[in-house]
């Protein structure tokens, strides 16, 4: 499981760097300031949670089942939260209206929040 988590964290982090470079050099002149800021918010949260995945993979204080649950929550949260922000912030560049997926963003945020709550609960249950 740890190998899978590390590989996913590396992929998520790498994609975050690529999107950041693409945004800074390609999207900046094409997007409004607000849309550009939103896109960068998606990148920022993606990167935060890539590091969280690395932490989950490296810690020995979390049981394998808990790691699996955290992995699923974090990855789903990244895909829904950051992914929907990427589509919504680049909406003006496409013919398709992505505003219909706007409800996905807070759902993704709830997955990310749930992962942090679960992580807290995992450490709370550790006996001193």
**What CA–CA distances, in Å, run from 58 to 5, 47, 73?**
9, 17, 17
53, 4 in Cβ contact below 8 A?
Answer: no
How confident is the prediction along the chain (128 residues), in pLDDT tens digits per residue?
Answer: 789 999 999 999 999 999 999 888 888 888 888 889 999 999 999 999 999 999 999 999 999 999 999 999 999 999 999 999 998 888 887 777 777 888 999 999 999 999 999 999 999 988 77
Q: What angle do CA 38, 106, 77 make, to 5 degrees?
A: 90
Q: Which residue has the tokens 């679960």?
A: 118
What is the torsion angle, in degrees rounded to the nearest 10, for the CA atoms of residue 99, residue 34, residue 81 and residue 79?
Answer: 90
> Has this prediction a pTM greater than 0.85?
yes
């Amino acid at each position: 499981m740890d190998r899978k988590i590390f590989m996913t964290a590396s992929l998520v982090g790498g994609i975050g760097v690529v999107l950041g470079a693409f945004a800074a050099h390609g999207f900046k002149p094409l997007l409004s300031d607000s849309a550009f800021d939103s896109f960068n918010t998606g990148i920022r949260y993606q990167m935060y949670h890539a590091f969280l995945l690395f932490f989950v993979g490296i810690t020995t204080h979390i049981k394998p089942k808990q790691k699996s649950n955290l992995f699923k929550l974090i990855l789903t949260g990244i895909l829904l939260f950051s992914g929907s922000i990427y589509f919504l912030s680049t909406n003006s560049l496409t013919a398709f209206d992505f505003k219909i997926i706007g409800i996905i963003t807070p759902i993704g945020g709830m997955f990310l929040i749930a992962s942090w709550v679960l992580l807290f609960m995992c450490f709370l249950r550790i006996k001193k």
